Structure 1
Amino acid sequence: MTSSNRNLKQEINEKLMDETLRGALNRFAAAYPIARAKAYENVDDIDALRNSVRDMKRDTVERIEEIADQFEAQVTARGGKVFRAKDGEALKQYLYNLCQEKGVKRIAKSKSMATEEIHLNHFLEEKGLYVKETDLGEWIISIAGHKPSHMVMPAIHLDRNQVAKYFSQELHKDVEPDIALMVQEARVTLRDEFLLADMGITGANFGIAENGAIGLVTNEGNARLVATLPPIQVVIIGYEKLIPTIKDAVPILSTLPRNATGQLMTSYMSMISGPAPALVKKDGQWVEQEKELYVILFDNGRLRAAKEDKLKQIYQCVRCASCLNVCPVYTLVGGHVYGHIYAGGIGAILTALLNGMNDFKQINEMCIGCRRCTEICPGKIDIPGLIEYLRAKTVEQEGLPFGVKAVFENVLANRKVFHNLLRLASIGQKPFTTGRLIRHLPLFFAGLAKDRSLPAVADTPFRDRVKMVTKQVKKPKKRIAFFSGCNIDFVFPEIGESVYKVLQDLNLEMVFPEAQSCCGKPVIGMGDLETARKIAKQNILAFEEAKADYIMFACPTCAETWHLAYVELFKDDPEWSKRIAKLAHSVREFTSFVASEYDKLGRLKKTVGGQKITYHDSCHMKRGLTIYTEPRKLLASAPGYEFVEMQDSDKCCGMAGAFGIKYAELSMPILKKKIDTIKECGADVIAVGCPACMMQIQGGLDKQAPNIKIKHVAEIIAEQIK
């Protein structure tokens, strides 16, 4: 289904209303992290294991043609035949011709996402062939008429009552919704399929160039039966599944089961190298017959990706689907809303490569950018980064929508216009403002403030207050230039005041470059790199003039943008690359900087008693800047507070910039889970290190738990200074 005839918003709302789906996904999302952690508890260095997967895959993609040639030679030497399919049409036609040549009428299949990718079953059935899925999950969705909603657990969106209904319809008898009973029914029903099939089609978890073997990792054993019983075996394997040696299978086998299902190893691990004898029934007797093996190496955009510096990362994917298991959006709505076969952030990337950019352009916005996927991925794929890269490619080729382009070029890229509009907004919002919050909005804007209050633009921005809070520091230790970012400057100026108070107390000279503007992250996120460079240059010039020792940030998104994104923006521009490299080296995040200074001064002494305070990890802070212990040390040492940890402190709050507004229907359930965990830990105060998270959580607390207060870490520390 293409983006032109889909109503994504409607599909999202339908899934949000599906209580069965929500229940199944919630239960799995709660159980998965525990199971995975237990599976890894005896692994001394998980990061080293993940590095080994990444490095091996990186090395392989650099010589993928050589590896493919070696794999083909080894398969051929062992009696198999190899066909290289450029795309889905070539694969389907080759397979159909093979069926015609060999007189194949019945086909048994094991699970293969590559065949789902090209709708192979539908094609073969249209040609008059009998095709039966033998993986339990795949069989269930085939009789239900559904697409897979997960790469590993294709029927995760269904509960046992729904499955029993489909079983009853398929088997023409009443089947009770008892899982053990239904598994037995499936086993009995599918047993003959293995024995009667003329051809077995399998996928592969990996293909080894050294010996031409394929590896199959399963829990049901059906893939082993499909690979061994029918007289003809066809293996469909994408180029990204190829690895050089049998030793290279070890890190895959060490991570794939743990990440996919929380198991040390699946029930069946099969290595198949060359055709084995097959059992066929002749004259009522089972006899051995020489087996035929055909391996189809599948391209469909994979080789093109191997030649692109960024996109070649997809070769690091082992198809464990752990990225889906921790994705806040996937665990709300499941996989079907992504339109094609592959779901989640990795699904958006694969859809772009294998199905086309038209489908990508709609579903890519459902990536919230929280990076839990990257944190857990065995191959360390930067999924959000690849999505931003593909967005930029789309903008480069097609441009932005007129309205968005006009705002970016004429407002965000023009500091004076942007800031004047924000000042006007502070006046225009008055009819809807109560204190510092907007609790109700009229007409079609009402939904934005239904379940959360919105922050009001401050009457006086920080840039107009900075002179009042700047002190003359005698013999300062360092000169600090403060980058406020839009939120602190115009929404939460009191955070800026606290930052100044704390840093000046440390005998640091503070300066505020007036020419600074938005960091440009919203523009980068939308893929408009040309405008982003204009904004970045304005900020670089402003802070070069400040001649500071450090550039201080109390917003991790802005800090990460300066430290990483700016460097990437100018990588092909020697002059500006040199200039930003010098400034990026001086970037400092407030909580980590202050924690280090306080540690030197002996101020990080744990306190007991007082208001209970907990901490929410911003995604950009923890997974972007890898800062998470420092804010906790500061809070634990703050007099008048007792620090308590809350569950899932690093789960996204659902803001994610424009996502929180455009997809409010998704943002709100994510926020509600965050508010619930805050309440469950019994905290009186929730501390944050990110103004965007503060904006989101403050709005949720106001509607759902007004007795709990929210403060930036800088405000907590500033309270202690007389």
Structure 2
Amino acid sequence: MADQEFKGKIEQALDNSTLRGALGRFGEFYEKAREQVYEGYDFQALRDQVAEVKSYAASHLDEMLDQFERAATARGAKVFRAETGEDANRYISELALKHKVKSIVKSKSMASEEIHLNDALAAKGMDVQETDLGEWILQLCHQTPSHMVMPALHMTKEQVADVFTDHLGRINDPDIASLVKTARSELRSKFLEADMGISGANMAIAETGTLMVVTNEGNARLTATLPRIHVFLVGVEKMVPKFEDAGCILQTLPRNATAQAITSYVTMVTGPTPVYMPDGSVRDKELHIVLMDNGRRKMYADDKFKKTFQCIRCASCLNVCPAYQLVGGHVYGHIYTGGIGTILTAFLNEEKFAENPQNLCLQCGKCAEICPGRLDIPEMILELRTRFAQKKGLPFTQKFALDIVANRRLFHSLLRVASLAQKPLTKGQPVIRHLPMFLSGLTEKRSLPAIAPVPFRDIFKSIPQNIKDVKGTAAFYAGCLVDFVYPKIGEGVIAALNDKGYKVVFPEGQSCCGAPAVYMGDKPNAKKSAMLNIEALKAEGVDYVVSACPTCTHALKDSYPALLSGDPAWEERAAVLSRKALDFSKLLADLGGLPEGGDGLPLKVTYHDSCHLKRKMGVYREPRAHLSRTAGIELVEMYESDHCCGFAGSYSIKFPEISAPILEKKIKNIEATGADVVAVDCPGCLMQISGGLDQARSPIKVKHTAEILLEKRHRQKNQKLS
């Protein structure tokens, strides 16, 4: 659980309207621009190439390093392998002292931020000057980067103008072109006077000993060419086998990082460059290459995190992260920011620095969807979360709640009691709009649904299933929300599957899918839920197991096999359940869908994509097709339909201050469609969005796809009967 200092940083960031505005504008620009710049390119094929190239280099790392060192040394460079950050700092500091270096210019190096190289050099009496525009701005105002590619993304031109004014002692207008011109003028003398240049690199080509640097500013080339000594500081994960392998990275890096087809400069350094002396003579400068480990091998050796070597540091995961777009990078508390930054921090700095930031991940999966290196960042963050929970334990209240949820009989009994005890709060309505005292924050920005007076498991017994030609049997896994809050969704699932000739059974021994335990890092309770549900569902005896909650479906299909892997008593049963488990819209589509039909009454519907359904299962066309084939429905697409609604299970309770603005943005997009109904396939999204619309006193309703199909087609059947 996040500590109070961390929560304070979040609140401070959320209160910063300038920061929110800058991040929000960039976020909206980025997604559109990125989509346009990939037109005509097969992104999936490109990311396959990137993953293949980078994973090959990682799995042959010693071979790559040896080959690179031989090639670079043969061309006149001096290569040093630094096992730790201290080793790298020591080598560079001693090199600078040996050559009586007084002034240093730096460019393009997050690795130097990682090991605090500037501080190490300053302690030896050297003047260290950042020359990337964003890094220079941050150096002047004593801040760390808030983004791995655009370090000063959080600042406006007005703020930069004020920084320049304070530093230079003269007024600077907030005009970007003028500010850039000022920076060039001020930094030019630094390049000319510098004794040493220090650079990072985007790629190190093992075949030729080449360092490749991708930038939008000319400072990287000046850093590499003007000073008499040049040092490259490069993490060992930057290795690429051959020159031709760089092509796929050069195509994806700028497109994913800044939505550009190509950056202004692609600089390649192979061996020392000539230095022109004041007396007219020419000599080769000294070129030193520091290949740094500093925890990278340890990261690769861990099976759960080895794919981090496929990261090309484009920072696109930050650009699309709902949490990052609200709070920025400084909340993450260290050099590396965002989802991938949290993972890097845990290995390359200290694990404790990642403990609070990992909680910021909503598990929406947007980052994994666009990552050019095919990293599943949310899964890695979940692994970190689980390890923290195993080492330190969960807070008492979380552990107590999860223990109750994992006890099916106790949990269900409490829900039945709560359905009666809630009456003073519901005031006869199907929602709870206000909670008392310390619980009031839960209903500050959204209403909560009332627990159903009769759970689905009781209703199921009275549902007639009149099927003329039974084709098979499907076990219905309801999950907590359908069972105890939205039973009508279950009725819709049964009606649709009955129409397709499938009898539905409801195993009463089923309980919570265990997702809350998984997402809080409570592996023992997650396994307990997995075993309980596998035993209850008995997938071996049915044709399908259907769920109307994508989070539950993901648990049945993916989480259970992972949780029970290596357990002979449960592994095969988990595999059988995984094969047979399908989400409602997917199963209905696989069975051919429902025929054209419906009551014909006009209904304008917009669709919100569940993060789990679209990104974990690739299902988004199917529910739209079901709705479009229903007479009377006009389906209108909303802007950013696949953006998270901010629910994310317990996230909306742990971080209501982040969940609320994400929800507000979703509601604005919904209202802009003019729809009567928002269709969803996730009960959690239904709860979040309907709660927000209710608090906003909006007439727009939110319904599950199965519920809409039931209403539109049930009404049609009644019309025929009458």
Normalising by the smaller structure, the TM-score range is: over 0.9
Q: Is residue 598–residue 713 contact of structure 2 (8 Å, CA) maintained in 1?
A: no
Q: Is residue 613–residue 644 contact of structure 1 (8 Å, CA) maintained in 2?
A: yes
Q: Is residue 108–residue 226 contact of structure 1 (8 Å, CA) maintained in 2?
A: yes
User: Structure 2 length normalisation: TM-score?
Assistant: 0.96
- Alpha carbons of 1:148 and 1:609: their partners in 2 closer, same or farther (altered >3 Å)? farther
Could you list the per-position Cα deviations for residues 348-391 of structure 1 after superposition, in whole angstroms to 9, with x for gaps in the alignment? 11111112221211111100111110001100100000011122
Q: In the TM superposition, what is the alpha-carbon distance from 1:605 to its structure 2 partner?
A: 7.5
Q: Is residue 586–residue 622 contact of structure 2 (8 Å, CA) maintained in 1?
A: yes
Q: How does 1:703-722 map to 2 (within 5 A)?
A: 703-722=695-714
Is 1:200 the counterpart of 2:168 in the alignment? no
Deviates more, 1:509-518 or 1:349-358: 349-358
Letter in 2 for 1:425: A
Q: Is residue 608–residue 642 contact of structure 1 (8 Å, CA) maintained in 2?
A: no
Q: How does 1:130-169 map to 2 (within 5 A)?
A: 130-169=127-166
Deviates more, 1:497-506 or 1:253-262: 497-506
User: Structure 1 length normalisation: TM-score?
Assistant: 0.96
Choose which of 672, 675, 695 in structure 2 pairs with 1:683: 675
Is 1:454 the counterpart of 2:454 in the alignment? no
Choose which of 530, 533, 541 in structure 1 pairs with 2:527: 533
Could you list the per-position Cα deviations for residues 467-492 of structure 1 after superposition, in whole angstroms to 9, with x for gaps in the alignment? 01142545411101000001111111
Choose which of 293, 297, 300 in structure 2 pairs with 1:303: 297
Q: Is residue 231–residue 289 contact of structure 1 (8 Å, CA) maintained in 2?
A: no
* Aligned-partner Cα distance in 2 for 1:413–1:57: 41
Is 1:70 the counterpart of 2:63 in the alignment? no
* Aligned-partner Cα distance in 2 for 1:14–1:536: 40
Is 1:412 the counterpart of 2:405 in the alignment? yes
Q: How does 1:12-411 map to 2 (within 5 A)?
A: 12-43=10-41, 45-281=42-278, 287-409=281-403, 411=404
Q: Which residue of 2 aligns with 1:429?
A: 422
Letter in 2 for 1:413: A
Q: In the TM superposition, what is the alpha-carbon distance from 1:68 to its structure 2 partner?
A: 1.3
1:574 is paired with a residue of what secondary structure? coil
* Aligned-partner Cα distance in 2 for 1:497–1:573: 36
Deviates more, 1:379-388 or 1:433-442: 433-442
Letter in 1 for 2:132: D
Q: Is residue 231–residue 279 contact of structure 1 (8 Å, CA) maintained in 2?
A: no
* Aligned-partner Cα distance in 2 for 1:428–1:302: 54
Deviates more, 1:666-675 or 1:352-361: 352-361
Deviates more, 1:539-548 or 1:237-246: 539-548
1:575 is paired with a residue of what secondary structure? coil
- Alpha carbons of 1:215 and 1:545: their partners in 2 closer, same or farther (altered >3 Å)? closer
Is 1:485 the counterpart of 2:476 in the alignment? no
2:373 is paired with a residue of what secondary structure? coil
Deviates more, 1:66-75 or 1:605-614: 605-614
* Aligned-partner Cα distance in 2 for 1:79–1:574: 58
* Aligned-partner Cα distance in 2 for 1:21–1:606: 48
Q: Is residue 231–residue 280 contact of structure 1 (8 Å, CA) maintained in 2?
A: no
Could you list the per-position Cα deviations for residues 132-184 of structure 1 after superposition, in whole angstroms to 9, with x for gaps in the alignment? 00100100111011110001110011101110010011112111111111110
Q: Which residue of 1 aligns with 2:719?
A: none
* Aligned-partner Cα distance in 2 for 1:378–1:277: 36
Matched length: 713
1:253 is paired with a residue of what secondary structure? helix
Letter in 1 for 2:424: P
2:702 is paired with a residue of what secondary structure? strand
Q: Is residue 49–residue 248 contact of structure 2 (8 Å, CA) maintained in 1?
A: yes
1:7 is paired with a residue of what secondary structure? helix
Deviates more, 1:158-167 or 1:424-433: 424-433
1:108 is paired with a residue of what secondary structure? strand
Letter in 2 for 1:228: T
- Alpha carbons of 1:702 and 1:5: their partners in 2 closer, same or farther (altered >3 Å)? closer
* Aligned-partner Cα distance in 2 for 1:204–1:464: 63
Q: How does 1:510-529 map to 2 (within 5 A)?
A: 510-529=504-523
Letter in 1 for 2:418: A
2:356 is paired with a residue of what secondary structure? helix
* Aligned-partner Cα distance in 1 for 2:458–2:3: 50
Could you list the per-position Cα deviations for residues 654-705 of structure 1 after superposition, in whole angstroms to 9, with x for gaps in the alignment? 0001111110000000000000000111111100000000010000010125
- Alpha carbons of 1:545 and 1:241: their partners in 2 closer, same or farther (altered >3 Å)? closer
Q: Is residue 195–residue 230 contact of structure 1 (8 Å, CA) maintained in 2?
A: yes
Q: Is residue 502–residue 721 contact of structure 1 (8 Å, CA) maintained in 2?
A: no
Q: What is the percent sequence identity of the aligned residues? A: 50
Could you list the per-position Cα deviations for residues 429-471 of structure 1 after superposition, in whole angstroms to 9, with x for gaps in the alignment? 2221141111011122222211111112112111111101142
- Alpha carbons of 1:442 and 1:275: their partners in 2 closer, same or farther (altered >3 Å)? same
- Alpha carbons of 1:287 and 1:522: their partners in 2 closer, same or farther (altered >3 Å)? farther
* Aligned-partner Cα distance in 2 for 1:597–1:135: 57
Q: Is residue 215–residue 266 contact of structure 2 (8 Å, CA) maintained in 1?
A: yes
Choose which of 650, 653, 678 in structure 2 pairs with 1:658: 650
* Aligned-partner Cα distance in 2 for 1:381–1:546: 34
Two-structure CA RMSD over aligned residues (Å): 1.8
* Aligned-partner Cα distance in 2 for 1:36–1:605: 39
Q: Is residue 694–residue 712 contact of structure 1 (8 Å, CA) maintained in 2?
A: yes
- Alpha carbons of 1:610 and 1:424: their partners in 2 closer, same or farther (altered >3 Å)? same
Q: Which residue of 1 aligns with 2:720?
A: none
- Could you tell me which runs of 5 or more consecutive residues in structure 2 were left unpaired when the two chains were aligned: 715-722
Is 1:566 the counterpart of 2:566 in the alignment? no
2:591 is paired with a residue of what secondary structure? helix
Task: List structure 1 runs of 4+ shifted beyond 6 angstroms.
Answer: 3-6, 605-609
Q: In the TM superposition, what is the alpha-carbon distance from 1:607 to its structure 2 partner?
A: 11
1:646 is paired with a residue of what secondary structure? coil
Q: Which residue of 1 aligns with 2:629?
A: 637
* Aligned-partner Cα distance in 2 for 1:281–1:608: 86
Q: In the TM superposition, what is the alpha-carbon distance from 1:333 to its structure 2 partner?
A: 1.0
- Alpha carbons of 1:594 and 1:705: their partners in 2 closer, same or farther (altered >3 Å)? farther
* Aligned-partner Cα distance in 2 for 1:6–1:97: 42
Letter in 2 for 1:269: V
Q: In the TM superposition, what is the alpha-carbon distance from 1:215 to its structure 2 partner?
A: 0.3
- Could you tell me which runs of 5 or more consecutive residues in structure 1 were left unpaired when the two chains were aligned: none
Q: Is residue 418–residue 451 contact of structure 2 (8 Å, CA) maintained in 1?
A: yes
Choose which of 519, 537, 541 in structure 2 pairs with 1:547: 541
Letter in 1 for 2:613: M
